[in-house]
Structure 1
Amino acid sequence: MHAAKDMKALARAVITAEISALESLPERIDDQFVGACETILNCRGRVIVTGMGKSGHIGSKIAATLASTGTPAFFVHPGEASHGDLGMIVDGDVIIALSNSGTSEEILAIMPVVRRLKIKLIAMTGNPESELAQLADFHIYTGVDQEACPLGLAPTSSTTATLVMGDALAIALLEVRGFTADDFARSHPGGRLGKRLLVHVRDLMHTQGQIPRVLPEADIRETILEMTRHGFGMTAIVDASEYLLGVFTDGDLRRSFDHGRDLQGRPIAELMTTSSHTIAPDELAVTALNLMQEHSITVLPVVQAGQIVGIIHMHDLLRAGIV
């Protein structure tokens, strides 16, 4: 029990320490930060992020965030850079170098080549007086008073501060570039968010012979057979020109039985629901999902200029990963 209490106390202390480290970051958004942003915006090539050890792991994430938000970027390990990977860095690129101490030997070893190539250097360090900070065209200060590690050794608060500053840089650039949700989706086509932003109703809907539909004069027997044949739990009622007049669902059938309505000999036009919810083929599939959830339905007729052109079911959205 005592060990559990100690672990809780230690965990809370770590979180408190890291929150405290982040509280000083907003005041560090200065002209150096703006200069770094403008340098990246004017970059004719790519942004290369580099860092050693834990800073390297943070740098890899920052590069990924930049790349996914409109700034072409990738991570280069500084140790590998000295053994051939410097060939990936060309004139017009920008380098973001991460080092809490500002004295990482592997990063400083490649600086002479970087300077010869006249590549702009942005440094994120915890020491403005360090060699790396002094070499940089722009320096973003990410220092912390203390690490969250009780020994003061493991990079904790310092890496969190660097990560947050990297996010601030990426999102500031995103806003200035006018990067949109559609842009984000195009760089994330395989993810759930990308699908929700890219997939349209027309991409998933059933068309032509897959659409359950009957004419308004059809009787209840013919209507139920059409519903059963297609398995959507409903059928559209259309005129000879395929204009949607209404729908009849298995719910309508149950309610008719519950109310003791005589269904025999009556055309489906007298039984159909005329105020049905529909969607256009150019709408996003997620819009169809929202409409189904809002009205507790599982299928929607897809209508264009009054004519039925498709049918979309909740199962289609599930299979496509929209839900």
Structure 2
Amino acid sequence: MDTIQYTAEIIKELQQAVTLIAEEEAEKLADTILQSGKVFLAGAGRSGLMGRAFTMRLMHTGIEAYVVGETVTPGIDKGDVLIIGSGSGETKTLVSMAEKAKSLDASVVTVTINPESTLGKLSDFTVKLPGAPKDQASGNYNTIQPMASLYEQTLLVFYDAVILRMMEKRGLDTNKMYGKHANLE
């Protein structure tokens, strides 16, 4: 295959993946964000990068959102939510964050391939995304892509869809959001 054929195959995989996301879980995430005080995003590796992108869009919608670990990130409190993106749901540093958030009476939501994971069990609710784990031998989802790429791509598309749903609920459009875009670039 050449690069264009690979790209077409990746898009086919994404089209199939999004049909497997439960609408009620997506709606619950949008509502949770809209009803929360502050929103915190965490993830490791590429999942963390997708969370950073989501945090930026949340800020553009007027939500008080932070990436865990940044120097300007405040403490989490009761009424806040920690959203964790983790394909496996077993990343030790993320499990520790979830435990800490729960001990402070914050809500925890995990977006994962594996809702039965440690993070899934710690969470108030999970959003299940399709995809193969990093170790594809232990998964049952076929993909041509390496490691957890399909999950990570689906995560970004899913997060963007949640933003669109929140925009609809709040009566926002791109022009209204642009006022919150960075202007020192």
- Provide the TM-score with structure 2 as the length reference: 0.82
Q: Does 1:142 align with 2:129?
A: yes
* Correspondence for 1:61 among 47, 53, 65: 53
Describe the shift of the 1:69–1:15 C-alpha distance in structure 2 as closer, same or farther (beyond 3 A): farther
Q: Which has the higher contact order (CA 8 A, sep 6+)?
A: 2
Q: Does 1:111 align with 2:103?
A: no
* Correspondence for 2:171 among 169, 178, 182: 178
CA RMSD between the two structures:
2.6
Correspondence 1:63-142 to 2 at 5 A? 63-77=55-69, 88-142=75-129
The share of aligned pairs that are identical, in percent, is: 24
Letter in 2 for 1:156: S
Task: Look at both structures and tell me which one has the larger radius of gyration over its CA atoms.
Answer: 1
Letter in 1 for 2:66: F
Inter-partner Cα distance in structure 2 for 1:178 and 1:52: 33
Correspondence 1:1-323 to 2 at 5 A? 8=2, 12-43=5-36, 45-77=37-69, 88-144=75-131, 145-149=141-145, 152-153=146-147, 155-188=148-181, 190=183
Contact 1:14 1:148 in 2 (8 A): no
Gaps spanning 5+ residues in structure 1: where? 1-5, 192-323
Describe the shift of the 1:27–1:147 C-alpha distance in structure 2 as closer, same or farther (beyond 3 A): closer
Inter-partner Cα distance in structure 2 for 1:52 and 1:140: 17
Give the aligned partner of residue 300 of structure 1.
none
Aligned-residue offset at 1:136: 1.5
Describe the shift of the 1:179–1:30 C-alpha distance in structure 2 as closer, same or farther (beyond 3 A): same
Letter in 2 for 1:124: V
Give the aligned partner of residue 289 of structure 1.
none
Describe the shift of the 1:105–1:186 C-alpha distance in structure 2 as closer, same or farther (beyond 3 A): same
Contact 2:82 2:98 in 1 (8 A): no
Aligned-residue offset at 1:50: 0.4
Contact 1:40 1:47 in 2 (8 A): yes
Aligned-residue offset at 1:98: 0.5
- Provide the TM-score with structure 1 as the length reference: 0.49
Inter-partner Cα distance in structure 1 for 2:7 and 2:181: 34
Once the two structures are superposed, residues 37-85 of structure 1 have per-residue CA deviations (whole angstroms, 9 ceiling, x without a partner) of 2211111x221110011111111111111211232212114xx8xxx99
Gaps spanning 5+ residues in structure 2: where? 132-140
Inter-partner Cα distance in structure 2 for 1:147 and 1:141: 17
Aligned-residue offset at 1:11: 5.0
